[in-house]
Amino acid sequence: MKLHRNLVFAAVDALGMIFNDGEQADKVLRKVLKFDKRWGSRDRSFIAETVYDIVRWKRLYSEIAEVKAPYSRPNLFRLFAVWATLRGIEVPDWKQMEPIPTRRIKGRFDELSKIRKYKESIPDWMDEMGEKALGKKWGAELAALNTQAQVVLRANSLKATVKEVRNTLADQDIDTKILDTHPDALELVERKNVFTSEAFKNGFFEVQDASSQKVARMLEVEPGMRVVDACAGAGGKTLHLAALMENKGQIIAMDIYAGKLRELKRRSKRAGAHNIETREITSTKVFKKLYNSADRVLIDAPCTGLGTIKRNPDLKWKLQPEFVDKVVQRQADILQNYSKIVKDGGKMVYATCSILPRENQEQVQAFLATEQGQKFQLEKEETVSPAKSGYDGFYMALLSRKQ
Ligand SMILES: C[S@@+](CC[C@H](N)C(=O)[O-])C[C@H]1O[C@@H](n2cnc3c(N)ncnc32)[C@H](O)[C@@H]1O
């Protein structure tokens, strides 16, 4: 493989912004990939995949290259040299590339691979927390979270069937396989940019991880119901709910961020979903008005996102231990407040994209033990393991409000 100077430089620039300026990897890549209009899809994939790889293996590569934050430009090139060497790619003799002997890189790699926090490239505190929470299962989950995420699509049944999406994309040389385990899902056989396809522009599908596609289904919605999506964000699951409800009934999508709800509106237009109304939570009045009124409530709660490290590897470096405690408390408050929106006999799903029991089954058990929680019973719950499923880690519980 021949390395192209401008692509490697773009990757190094991106890494500087992510590691030194604290910017989010996906946002940086969106910016960097606009640098040169002449780049084709292979060039873009090279930059994106190299950057994600080096972000994923930051701790391991930093130890091998003997560099530390803040990362000077020569040190970012050293990380790149480690990446290339470990992939058997010849490191070019550009003046920016200070030579590191291959034998030294491989020797350090073998040595460090004996210690999990280096091998899996993870902060000490996170490794300790994972082990404490999941015991023996943690090692396998961590290894799965360090693999590259597949691109999964959800066919939007308001506009197209899974087969129609598959055929339309095949006409544009985008190969997909239908996932028998998930009714609306297709997985890309090879990474390609699907956002420029006609099928996407026409709202035939959304990009949504397979595990995430289970959440709206668990809520057992029916056409004509009144449904509140209490933490709707940009609407990944709201759009799925609208499709399951065949555009009939009412969905109230709430969030504390107006910007996310604006994005939801844009997406629902493309998807042809007409039964969604957005409400920004500017005060408690906004949700108090809805108490005892909904057939179904979805609480896709803010969480650590630990189940999504595959697609967001920089989470390993951005997440702080204090945040875990804060978010667990926020989830408990959200459960107390938004469960009141469910009417008697109605149902609610509580979900997170985390694999920590504290955010998941323990959170639900703690809720059920409270005065408000005693009005509910747990119908079923599911924990999706990244190691077993091959997709994001998720948790979802269906609770029904007693009559
Ligand atoms: C896991 S994300 C939601 C993802 C979204 N449901 C989807 O499928 O695309 C959690 C959302 O909760 C929102 N949030 C945080 N605190 C909240 C609160 N107190 N009330 C409502 N939403 C909140 C966040 O802004 C974020 O969009």
Q: Which of 204, 194, 182, 184 is nearest to 151 (CA)?
A: 194
Q: Which of 23, 9, 117, 142 is nearest to 73 (CA)?
A: 9
Instruction: Please report the pLDDT score of residue 132 as a whole number.
Output: 98
Residue 304: pLDDT over 90: yes
The three-state secondary structure class of 250 is: strand
Q: Which atom of ligand 1 is nearest to the CA of 334?
A: 19
Whether ligand 1 lies within 6 angstroms of the CB of 122 is answered as no
> Residue 2 — pLDDT band, cuts 50, 70, 90?
confident
> Residue 376 — pLDDT band, cuts 50, 70, 90?
very high
Instruction: Please report the pLDDT score of residue 295 as a whole number.
Output: 98
Instruction: Please give the model's pTM, rounded to 2 decimal places.
Output: 0.95
Instruction: Please report the pLDDT score of residue 37 as a whole number.
Output: 87
Q: Which of 250, 194, 196 is nearest to 221 (CA)?
A: 250
Q: Which of 5-19, 97-111, 265-279, 349-363 has the lowest mean pLDDT?
A: 97-111
Instruction: Please report the pLDDT score of residue 224 as a whole number.
Output: 98
Dist. CA 125–CA 210, nearest whole Å: 29
Whether ligand 1 lies within 6 angstroms of the CB of 256 is answered as yes
Cα 339 to middle of ligand 1, angstroms: 15
Q: Which of 50-64, 98-112, 385-399 has the lowest mean pLDDT?
A: 98-112
> Which active-site residues does the annotation give?
353
DSSP state of 64: H
300 annotated as ligand-binding:
yes
Residue 1: pLDDT over 90: no
Cα 258 to Cα 3, 267, 395, 399, distances in angstroms: 43, 14, 26, 28
Tokens linked to 163: 């087969």
Tell me the pLDDT of the chain averaged across its residues: 96
Strand partners, 396: 351, 382
Residue 360: pLDDT over 90: yes
Give the DSSP H or E segment for 396.
Answer: strand 394-401
Instruction: Please report the pLDDT score of residue 97 as a whole number.
Output: 87
Distant-in-sequence, close-in-space partners of 378: CB < 8 Å, separation ≥ 6:
364, 368, 397, 398, 399
Domains, in order of start, for the chain: 5-120 (1.10.940), 152-207 (3.30.70.1170), 213-401 (3.40.50.150)
φ, ψ at 294 (rounded to 5°): -105, 145
Whether ligand 1 lies within 6 angstroms of the CB of 251 is answered as no
Cα 341 to middle of ligand 1, angstroms: 16
To test the pocket of ligand 1, the residue of 255, 262, 290, 308 to mutate (highest count of ligand atoms within 8 Å of its CB) is 255
Whether ligand 1 lies within 6 angstroms of the CB of 234 is answered as yes
Nearest CA to ligand 1 atom 26: 233
Cα 349 to middle of ligand 1, angstroms: 14
Cα 255 to middle of ligand 1, angstroms: 6
Instruction: Please report the pLDDT score of residue 331 as a whole number.
Output: 98
What integer is the mean pLDDT of 164-189? 96
Instruction: Please report the pLDDT score of residue 98 as a whole number.
Output: 82
Q: How far is CA 196 from the centre of its chain?
A: 21
Dist. CA 116–CA 62, nearest whole Å: 15
Strands 376-384 and 394-401: antiparallel
Q: What are 222-250's pLDDT values in tens digits?
A: 999 999 999 999 999 999 999 999 999 99
Q: Which is higher by pLDDT, 258 or 403?
A: 258
Q: How far is CA 107 from the centre of its chain?
A: 34
Dist. CA 277–CA 253, nearest whole Å: 6
Distant-in-sequence, close-in-space partners of 391: CB < 8 Å, separation ≥ 6:
149, 150, 152, 209, 210, 211, 384
Residue 67: pLDDT over 90: yes
Percentage above 90 pLDDT, the chain: 93
